[in-house]
Each structure stands twice: as C-alpha cells, then as structure tokens.
Amino acid sequence: MRKNIILLIARHFWTSIFKSKILYTLFGVIIILLFYAAYSGVSYHDQNHFRTEHQEMARQSWEANPDKHPHRMAHFGTFAFRIKYPLSIFDFGIESYTGNAIFLEAHKQNMVNFSDAGFSTGLLRFGELSMGMVLQLILPLIIFFIGYSAIVSDRENGTLKILITQGARWKEILFGRSLGLFAIAFFFVLPFFIITVILLLLEGATTADVWIRLSILTLLYVAFSFVLSFITITVSTNSRSSKSALIKLLGLWLVLVVLLPRTSQALGTYFHPAPTKLEFKALIEEQVLAHGDSHDPNDPYFNHLKDSVLKAHNVASVTALPFNYGGFVMAEGERISAEIYKEQHNQLLQNYRQQNELTRWLALINPYLALKNLSMALCGTDFESYVQFQNQAEDYRYKLAQKMNRLQMDYIAADVSSSEGKKNVVDRNEWKSFADFEHDFMSVGGTLESEAVALISLLLWLALSYFAIIYTSQKAKAI
C-alpha cells in the first residue's frame, strides 16, 4: 500500500465531511453534552469534600472521648467514608448504587449505606450523563452516521470506478476512508480529554497514578474509535445501498449497546440470585450464635474456653489470671464473628461475580462492553474498586475492635467484669494513637489485571477489524 495515496484519500474524506453543515450540528450537540456531563462530573466529584469533612468529624469525635473503658470505645465506633478517585469525574460507573459510608463497631459488620440512588428519584435508573457515557453511547452513533455512506455512496454515484481506474487500490481506498473517519472521530473525542485534564488540574490531582490511568484511558478510547471506524467502512463496503448500510449499523448499535448488556445482566441475576441484605445479616447472626455467644456467660463454647484458659494458667478463677478475662473473651468472640462474616461475605461476592461473569465474557464479542468495563475500572468506579473499599473498612474495623480488646486485657484489672464507673478506664491518648481510616485505591496493574478479559477483547477487536478491512478489500466490487 502507498502511504501517500492513503493519506490523500483520508484528507479528501475529511475535507468533504467538513463541508457538510450536519457535521457542525453534530459537533455542537456533542459539545453541549460535554459541558453538561463535565458539570455533572464536577458536581458529582464535589461530594469528596463532603466525605472528607465527615471523615475528619468522625475522627475528631473519636479522639474527643474522655478516659473510659475500652469496651465502651469499641462500641462507640467510628465511620469510614469512601473517597472518590479523581478520574471518577470522567466515568461515574456504579458508584451511585454502591453506597459511600459505613459505621465501624465491635462485634458487628454493618453494610455500606447512603448510596446516591437511595436519595434520588427513579430517573437515576436511566443512567447519569458522564463524559464516559457520552463517548460510549453517542460516539458510535456519530461515527456510524458520518461513515455509513463512505463507500457505498461512491459505488452508487460511480466515483469508485473513477478512483480505481486512476490507479487507486481497494486497500488504499478502504484504509484511507477508515483513517479519515477515525480523524473525524478523534475530533469529537479530543475535547472530552482536554476538559478532563483541565478538571483534574483544578482538583489538584497531581499523582503519577492519575495521569498514567488517564493516558491508558485515552489510548483505549482511541482504539475504540479505530474499531468503530473499521467496522463502519467494512459495513459500508459490503452494503448494496446507503440505506441498507445505515440500517445495519443502527441495528449493530442496538445489539451491542442495548440488547447484549441488558440481557447478560438479566441472565446473570436469574441464574445466580443473591440474598437480600436482611437475609445475609440473618445468616451471619445465626452462624455466630450457633458457634458461640461471647456475651452469654453460660454459653457452652465459651465455658469450655474458660476452663481451658484456667487450666493453662493453673488458676482457679478468672480473677487470678494475669490479664482481664473479659477482654480475652471479647477478642475471641470478635475473631469468630469476623471469620464467619469473611467467609459469608466472600461467598456473596463470588455470587455477584458469577452474575457479572456473563457480561465480562461477552466483552469478547462486544467492544462496547470491553471499553465500558475498562473505563469504569481505570476511573475507580467499578465493582472491584467497591469491594476493595469494603475489605479495607472491615480490616480496619477488626483491628480497631481487637485493639480495644487488647487494651482491656492489659490495663483493666483482672477482677473487673463490668465497664461501669470511672475507675475502670484507659487513658484517652490510646484513642489518638490508633490511626484513622484511609481508603487506598487499587494499583494500575491490579486494575488492568482485574479487567484482563476486556483488555484482550479490545485488542482482539482492533486486530479483527483491521483484518476485516483487508479481507473486504479482496472481495470488494466497484459496481
């Protein structure tokens, strides 16, 4: 193939499209959507300030506690707020449905609450307009609309025969038109990432991780634009009329963007139903009580534990132990309940992953799903990012509860069995010494690894659409 011919054809296609007033109308619409989505992103991301303030208030409330019994502090608890990743300003993902705050206390694993969906109307179910959503949903339609007649209209008006008789080859024509169509698509994509960069700078997002993710995200949307351009030119070449090409492309959009995602989600939920919150909590409580109740002095398991501890220390009663037995019992009860919760929670997460499995693997035949999954993951708004927050919050809760239990064992007299009164207390500086909760985000490597199927899918689609152009060039006809 001759590069100069390909570039000449691409330039000619670019020029001819820009002569059309429809292009400027489309660009005007996309810019309006861009600014609205950017405004929504800023408003959406501004909740970070609200969450940070409340995390600080929760910390101040924790540290403001006076000297008191550690077990009371364990039940006083604190909050963990999920901080939005800076790139969530670009793609909201599933964050509006997952909740953003959780109360952390001893002996009890609470659910993440206060989701945006819980405080909104049913209109939220139609989706929020983020910059990522505009590109994922509207960009394919724009590319299809601009390029559906790129080849077939030239066949209809006889221009193809002239090009071929003048020495242009089919490969050069198809790749030239594909490159021209991609250039126009990039013309629509570029403003979104320029606005994203500006908003990130205004937000003070200066970490290398953010810019690495944004760079990868940009390359993914560029690759997606290439795939759409190749597909559009392939369909246009293999269609007998412009009307037929447009109908095929619109049908393809409906299948890829609407039917396959909705169907896969419905099938996943049908084949792998998940328990409700109440059922999940009831199951955990039932298993904890079946194992042993640390608050019941006559519980068989903890009676046996007491006998073992007394025998190991060669004493007749718990008041003769070198530590506070109440703290020891609470620590053991916390360990048991945490292990049961972790096991059941992992099973629940596996259930949700099975629901998502069909959608994940459908990404191999659907480039839209591949891009959507990768976009959410890189913006920190996907399911795995939410799970990571849950796990970090539970780990912090467990360490906090066991820290309080250890303080009770070490600093409360062995003969004290109650948390009442002002004598059986620990110095308040112990509360300050326990670090505040910090939400850490998943690494770039971990993010790409979790969406390996989607990444492979997009690369495969890029290769397949490229070879589809080559194959089509060998079978194409000018009349």
3-state secondary structure 12-75: HHHHHHHCCHHHHHHHHHHHHHHHHHHHHHHHHHCHHHHHHHHHHHHHHHHHCCCCECHHHHHH
CA distance 279 to 291: 18
CA distance 169 to 156: 18
Q: What is the pLDDT of residue 125?
A: 46
- Please provide residue 205's backbone torsions phi and psi, each rounded to the nearest 5 degrees: -80, 95
CA distance 206 to 185: 29
Residue 182's domain spans which residues? 3-420+427-475
Q: What is the pLDDT of residue 118?
A: 46
Q: What is the pLDDT of residue 418?
A: 66
Q: What is the pLDDT of residue 108?
A: 85
CA distance 77 to 67: 15
CA distance 27 to 39: 18
Tokens encoding 387: 């799970």
**Sequence-distant (≥ 6) Cβ neighbours of residue 230 within 8 angstroms:** 178, 465, 466, 468, 469
CA distance 365 to 359: 10
Q: What is the pLDDT of residue 462?
A: 95
Q: What is the pLDDT of residue 420?
A: 62
Residue 227: how many CA atoms within 13 Å on its side-chain side? 23
Q: What is the pLDDT of residue 114?
A: 56
Inter-residue contact 17 to 232 (CB < 8 Å): no
**Residue linked to tokens 């053991």:** 332
CA-to-CA dists, residue 371 to 114, 217, 251, 272, angstroms: 28, 9, 19, 25
Inter-residue contact 100 to 390 (CB < 8 Å): no
Using DSSP, how many helices (H) and how many strands (E) does the chain show?
20, 3
Q: What is the pLDDT of residue 144?
A: 95
**Sequence-distant (≥ 6) Cβ neighbours of residue 324 within 8 angstroms:** 408, 409, 410, 411, 412, 413, 414, 416
Per the structure, how many domains does the chain have? 1
Q: What is the pLDDT of residue 248?
A: 95
pTM over 0.85: yes
**Sequence-distant (≥ 6) Cβ neighbours of residue 248 within 8 angstroms:** 235, 239
Mean pLDDT by 10 residues, the chain (479 residues): 85 89 90 91 80 91 91 91 91 84 89 59 56 94 93 84 82 92 95 94 87 96 96 92 93 93 87 83 83 76 88 88 89 91 90 87 92 95 91 94 92 75 80 90 91 94 94 81
